């Protein structure tokens, strides 16, 4: 899984953190959680604010 697998990342985060409201997360936490996902294999420096925003938006949609 790479940073560009936004929907897959959102699904994995939703499964791993069902009690977290993705609307209230900090990007530092989001970045760390993505890096810790099973199967995630990408460079930590390849993410940026736009990617994290897209992951957060997809996670919010997934959670609803």
Domain residue extents for the chain = 6-63
**How does pLDDT run along the chain (64 residues), one tens digit per residue?**
999 999 999 999 999 999 999 999 999 999 999 999 999 999 999 999 999 999 999 999 999 9
- 6-63 folds as Arc Repressor Mutant, subunit A (1.10.10)
Q: State the Cα–Cα distance between residues 9 and 15, nearest whole angstrom.
A: 10
Give this prediction's pTM: 0.94
The whole-number pLDDT of residue 22 equals: 97
């Amino acid at each position: 899984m790479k940073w560009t697998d936004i929907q897959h990342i959102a699904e994995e985060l939703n499964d791993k953190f069902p009690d977290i409201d993705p609307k209230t997360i900090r990007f530092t936490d989001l970045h760390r959680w993505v890096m810790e996902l099973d199967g995630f294999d990408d460079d930590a420096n390849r993410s940026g604010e736009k990617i994290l925003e897209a992951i957060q938006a997809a996670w919010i949609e997934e959670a609803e």
